[in-house]
Structures are given as structure tokens and as C-alpha cells.
Amino acid sequence: MIEKLDLIIMKIFFLISIIIIAIIFLGRKAFNSAKRNLFKDQAAWSGKDIKIKYNNSIELIESNDNDNFLKIIADESKIYLDNQSKEEE
């Protein structure tokens, strides 16, 4: 009876070990794949200049010279999205 119990415990331990090893290998593969996909686009964009088209619109002329760069980008984005929505209508 004890031998059967020992055999069952060994089988359970063996199955748990195989499952843990499989999870580790699959997790590592998934992690490397996700890392590769996340940084794939970074290599494509590195070294390229981002060019922003500026409009001579009233909203930008009214903005202060002391505005920071992010404010200018936000204003340009808002104007662009407004123009796109007007074209769709």
C-alpha cells in the first residue's frame, strides 16, 4: 500500500515538474517575442527626424511665443483633427 502511495506521489511530482518547466519555457518564449515586437518599431524610427507641418492659422498666431513645444504640437493636432472632421462632413 505504501509503495503504491509513493508511486502516485512520484507521478504527481513528475507531472508538476513537467508542467512548471513547460510554463517557464513558454513564458520565456512569449516574453522574448513581446520584447522583440515592442522594440521592432523603435529601430525603424531611430535616427529619423519627425517633420511637423505648421499651418498659418489664427489659433497659432494668437498663441504666445512662450508656449512650449508640446503646446504647439497639441494646437496643431487639434487644428488637423478639426479640419479632418470638417472634410468628412
| Residue 67 confidence (pLDDT) | 57
Query: By the 8 A CB rule, do 57 and 79 touch?
Result: yes
pLDDT bin (cut points 50, 70, 90) of residue 88 is confident
Average pLDDT, the chain: 77
Q: What is the pLDDT of residue 57?
A: 55
**Using CA atoms, how far apart are residues 61 and 9, in angstroms rounded to an integer?**
78
C-alpha cell at 35: 520584447
Question: pLDDT tens digits, residue range 31-58?
Answer: 888 887 777 666 555 555 666 666 655 5
